[in-house]
Amino acid sequence: MAQPEGGRTRGAHDLLGAVPGPSEGGGSESLTTVVVAFVVNLLIALVKSAAAAITGSASMLAEAAHSWADTGNQIFLLTADRRAHRPPDEAHPLGHGREAYIWSLFAAIGLFLAGAAVSVTHGVQELLHPEPAGHYVVGYAVLAACFILEGISFLRATRQAKPEAASMERDLIQHVMATSDPTLRAVFAEDAAALIGVLIAAAGLAAHQVTGSSIPDAIGSILIGLLLAVIAVALINLNRRFLVGQEVDPRVRAAALQALMEEPEVARVTYLRLEIVGPRMVFVVGDVDLTGDDTESHLAVRLRALEAKISSSPAVAGAVLSLSAPDEPTLPV
């Protein structure tokens, strides 16, 4: 059985070829992306904190809180990547892939509490009790340097996401929102928010300098907080969906069905479900009608062999196949 893609063939043992499995570099790519983001955010958090103390800018302080939240979040994401890739054991036959969504959920909650809440609170306090700002050149220089550093981390996440998006025939944003890799999504979203936040902080600082009023600066702090709140809520919701259980993209399911139908052992498929159980990992459940007219014992052996063939793919955590009833309709390919 063959399904051409990029010059090579795929069989039932590789029926998730549209999804890059751990052995195809997805896991190591995500780890590198998170490490780069951690180093960059730590440097930025230190620099922004110093600049906030020097300038007295509310927007700069909000950005410092944002960067410290991002730095802490990378620790959660590093934990997610490490724990999700632990091998299956007796208590966890499908592996530990869903731990990635738990730790990424913690990171999103941290972004909401340590980033959004702090920024909004400080902005409101600045509106009620205005504080003068100064040393504007220092603030602009720091924000410019931070924009470059955030851009480096963002480009790293983009470089990882683009080939994956192309393989799934999605645009970049669509893929980031749909990918089963929560660490890639979190780094991409947080870096994008950081770039926007730097621009907001620069505008708030400039308006403070021009008008002599701290109100624009305070509003900038509140806007940064609201931006982080929106990003955090979106990430929380996506991680919740993957934890509850979500089926793969319909295009991946269609490709898997086509690959399974082309397997010489399979006459037809009447049911197929591919549920995501971790980053780039799925669990396959299906009903198939095998070729020939073997006895029940021989059919059971052939069915188990087909399950083993499918499960040998690095993107498949496990497969359970049952025999189709004669009156079950065949799934359209």
Element (H, E) at 247: strand 246-247
5 has a pLDDT exceeding 80: no
Could you give the CA distance from residue 128 to residue 256 in angstroms, rounded to a whole number? 59
Question: Within a 10 A sphere around the Cβ of 203, how many other Cβ atoms?
Answer: 16
- What backbone torsions phi and psi does residue 156 show, to the nearest 5 degrees? -60, -45
Share in percent of the chain as helix, strand, coil (round to 5): 65, 10, 25
Q: Which residue has the higher pLDDT, 27 or 200?
A: 200
- What backbone torsions phi and psi does residue 124 show, to the nearest 5 degrees? -65, -40
Under a CB-based contact definition with an 8 Å cutoff, are residues 272 and 256 in contact? yes
Alpha helices in 85-244 (DSSP H): 99-110, 118-128, 136-167, 172-178, 182-211, 215-244
262 has a pLDDT exceeding 90: no
Q: Where do the domains of the chain lie? A: 21-246, 250-323
Q: What are the beta bridge partners of residue 276?
A: 246, 282
Q: What are the beta bridge partners of residue 278?
A: 281
Could you give the CA distance from residue 14 to residue 311 in angstroms, rounded to a whole number? 9
Could you give the CA distance from residue 79 to residue 249 in angstroms, rounded to a whole number? 26
Coil, strand, or helix at residue 171?
A: coil
**Which strands sit side by side in the sheet containing 246-247, from one edge to the other?**
246-247, 266-278, 281-290, 316-323
Tell me the pLDDT band of 28, cut-offs 50, 70 and 90.
Answer: low
- CATH 3.30.70.1350 for domain 250-323, yes or no, is yes
321 has a pLDDT exceeding 60: yes
Q: Which residue type sits at 139?
A: G
The predicted structure's pLDDT at residue 136 = 85
Please state the rounded mean pLDDT for residues 166-173.
86
Q: What are the beta bridge partners of residue 290?
A: 266
Could you give the CA distance from residue 251 to residue 262 in angstroms, rounded to a whole number? 17
> Is 290 exposed, middle or buried, given 0-12, 13-18 or 19+ CB atoms closer than 10 A?
buried
The predicted structure's pLDDT at residue 8 = 35
Could you give the CA distance from residue 164 to residue 174 in angstroms, rounded to a whole number? 11
Residue pLDDT, tens place only, 34-89: 888 888 889 999 999 999 899 888 888 888 888 888 888 888 888 888 888 888 88
Rounded to two decimals, the pTM is 0.79
Strand 316-323 and strand 246-247: pairing?
unpaired
Coil, strand, or helix at residue 248?
A: coil
User: What tokens were used for 143?
Assistant: 């924000």
Residue pLDDT, tens place only, 178-225: 889 998 899 899 889 989 999 999 999 899 899 988 899 899 999 999
Element (H, E) at 302: helix 296-311
Tell me the pLDDT band of 19, cut-offs 50, 70 and 90.
Answer: very low
CATH code, residues 21-246: 1.20.1510
The predicted structure's pLDDT at residue 27 = 58
113 has a pLDDT exceeding 80: yes
The predicted structure's pLDDT at residue 17 = 43
The predicted structure's pLDDT at residue 20 = 45
Across the chain, mean pLDDT equals: 85
